[in-house]
Structure 1
Amino acid sequence: MLFDIVGAGAVGLLYTSGLIRAGIHVRLWTRTKQQADILRTEGLMVTERDGSLTRWRQVEAYPFQEAAQVIQDSGSPIEILGLFVKQTHLTNSFINQLGALPRATDSLFVCFQNGIGHIERLQSVIAGEQLVKAVTTEAATRVEANRIIHAGSGITWLGQDLTSCERLQKNIKVLNNLLNQAGFQSNLSNNIDNMIYHKLLINAVINPITAMLRIPNGELLQTERRVQLMRDVYEEVTSIYREAGIPVANDAWDNVQLVCRNTAHNTSSMLADVLQGRSTEIDSITGELLRKADAHALNVPVQRALYQFIQALDPMNPLL
């Protein structure tokens, strides 16, 4: 089984490492030629949870812009593709290029994006029954182009909106087995949207505030004012969920705080983007929530203020 991975950020490289360890053929697609060259020549290094270092010297890596030609020349079309790029990279050009890649008729595209709204956009070029939604709580940090730290083990959930044909359902089970072979705790879910919205709630509370205050996750719990700000955001998000008919778990607030404690030293992905001067995923997280709030005529001033603040930090924002 050939497993393509698009996106060589921290989590993409983490899954690449696990799949290689399990003896699965991985074809890795990077954003830049430079990173692909480094991975091919120097390999991939992972600092594991126990502090040990794993190094994979044989990494088949290519820049994504060469994907169509490489796949065509290889005669090995896409079977399973894990999409690990951030929402900010899902431009119309990228999506069109992704949809044009040679692929098997029963191929699967597994989407690991934070936030919501991307599945609808991908459906313009990929059949809905071939799109698998993925939610993971695995945590990793990329410290160099070919070196990551596995910061925290978690659970991966896979699911779909549509009832696919029997052949595609079989492939989803194969995918789930492959991820478990690779050392990830992976499960199939009949309620994947609930899990996506649960993670969205956590991201909507933690990511913008850490990016605004420029602090690691655990420091959100260090003062009463920070906790109150988190609570204000949480209450607004759950009010949007209630109006939209999205379930909220009874222990959702406790889970938000638990994530802060369990990832106390982690830099959120949004804060990392701000520190690196990159565009953030604020539009696919808080922006999507604001669109839902507007649809229900809800007043959510804290959400709107956070959205505007993070947008103002974006060096690529054309309105600035």
Structure 2
Amino acid sequence: MLIDIVGAGAVGLLYTSRFIRAGIHVRLWTRTEKQADILRTEGLVVTERDGSVTKIRPIEAYPFQAADHIIQDSGKQIEVLGLFVKQTHLTNPFIERLGALPRATDSLFVCFQNGIGHIERLESVIAGEQLVKAVTTEAATRVAANHILHAGSGMTWLGQDVRNCERLQNNIKVVNNLLNQAGFQANLSNNIDNMIYHKLLINAVINPITAILRVPNGELLLTERRIRLMREVYEEVTSIYREAGIPVADDAWDNVLLVCRSTAHNTSSMLADVLQDRSTEIDSITGELLRKADAYALNVPVQRALYQFIQALDPMNPLL
């Protein structure tokens, strides 16, 4: 099976590397021609947590802007596409181009985005039954165009809202098997939305605070004041969840602390964006939570303050 991967950031490159090492055909789509050229000519370098280094080549990489022509000329339509771009890259032109790509009638688009709201936008160009929601706790950092650090192993879950097509459900099982074949711990989930909201809760607590304080995840636990701030954010998010009928696990707070400890040296994706003067995913995380809070007339002042702080750090914010 051919797997198309759109997005050559840290996590996209991690999945690319594992698939190729497992003998699975990958066609990788990058944001720039420059990165595609580097990957094709120099290969992909992966440094594991134990310091071991693997170079993977050849890499079949192309700029996404040329995807429609390349796919058409190759005669190899999309069967399974892993979407690894950030929410900030899901612009209307990008979504329209994605939806126009030549694809098989039973193709699947597996969406690995943080936050919420993207599936509804993608449904404007891709049938809902072809969209698969994915949640992963794999951690990676990109240190160069073709070099990543695998910062931590985790789980990957796949799920779908629509379950009335046996053929598509069988395809999801095939994708899940390919993930396991590639060395990932992958499972199918009947409650993927609960997992998405669980991850959203963790991201909503950790990401904005690390981005403002400019510290790795573990340093949030160094002082009582930081832990109190985390707890205030946590309480506001869970109040929104309760009002919206979204389940909150009994050990949800303990899981937030556990993530901080297990990823102590990691730079959150939001902090990485701030340090690189890039737009962050604050709209799809805290912004979406604020929209839910407004719908229920909930007062969540800490959420609103975090949102405004991160927005103020955005060099592309037209209001600045």
TM-score interval, normalised by the smaller of the two chains? over 0.9
Q: Which residue of 1 aligns with 2:94?
A: 94
Q: Which residue of 2 aligns with 1:205?
A: 205
1:103-142 equivalences under 5 Å are 103-142=103-142
1:158 pairs with 2:168: no
Q: Which residue of 2 aligns with 1:58?
A: 58
1:261 pairs with 2:278: no
TM-score by length of 2: 1.00
Q: Which residue of 2 aligns with 1:168?
A: 168
Task: Give, in whole Å, the separation in 2 of the partners of 1:51 and 1:13.
Answer: 18
Coordinate RMSD, CA, aligned: 0.4
Alignment deviations for residues 125-165 of structure 1 (CA, whole Å, 9 cap, x no partner) = 00000000000000000000000000000000000111141
Following superposition, the deviation at residue 30 of structure 1 comes to: 0.2
2:11 alignment partner AA:
V
2:243 alignment partner AA:
E
SS in 2 for 1:107: strand
TM-score by length of 1: 1.00
SS in 1 for 2:255: helix
SS in 2 for 1:29: strand
Task: Give, in whole Å, the separation in 2 of the partners of 1:164 and 1:192.
Answer: 16
1:30 alignment partner AA:
T
Following superposition, the deviation at residue 120 of structure 1 comes to: 0.1
SS in 1 for 2:149: strand
2:25 alignment partner AA:
H
Task: Give, in whole Å, the separation in 1 of the partners of 2:216 and 2:241.
Answer: 27
1:146 pairs with 2:146: yes
Following superposition, the deviation at residue 50 of structure 1 comes to: 2.3
Q: Which residue of 1 aligns with 2:284?
A: 284
Alignment deviations for residues 37-68 of structure 1 (CA, whole Å, 9 cap, x no partner) = 00000000000232111101200000000000
Following superposition, the deviation at residue 239 of structure 1 comes to: 0.1
Q: Which residue of 1 aligns with 2:188?
A: 188
Following superposition, the deviation at residue 105 of structure 1 comes to: 0.3
Q: Which residue of 1 aligns with 2:33?
A: 33
**Range with greater deviation from structure 2 (278-287 or 47-56):** 47-56
SS in 1 for 2:303: helix
2:133 alignment partner AA:
K
Task: Give, in whole Å, the separation in 1 of the partners of 2:168 and 2:251.
Answer: 35
Q: Which residue of 2 aligns with 1:83?
A: 83
SS in 1 for 2:54: strand
2:160 alignment partner AA:
Q
Task: Give, in whole Å, the separation in 2 of the partners of 1:160 and 1:170.
Answer: 12
Unaligned runs of 5+ in 1: none
Unaligned runs of 5+ in 2: none
Alignment deviations for residues 89-146 of structure 1 (CA, whole Å, 9 cap, x no partner) = 0000000000000000000000000000000000000000000000000000000000
Task: Give, in whole Å, the separation in 2 of the partners of 1:123 and 1:164.
Answer: 17
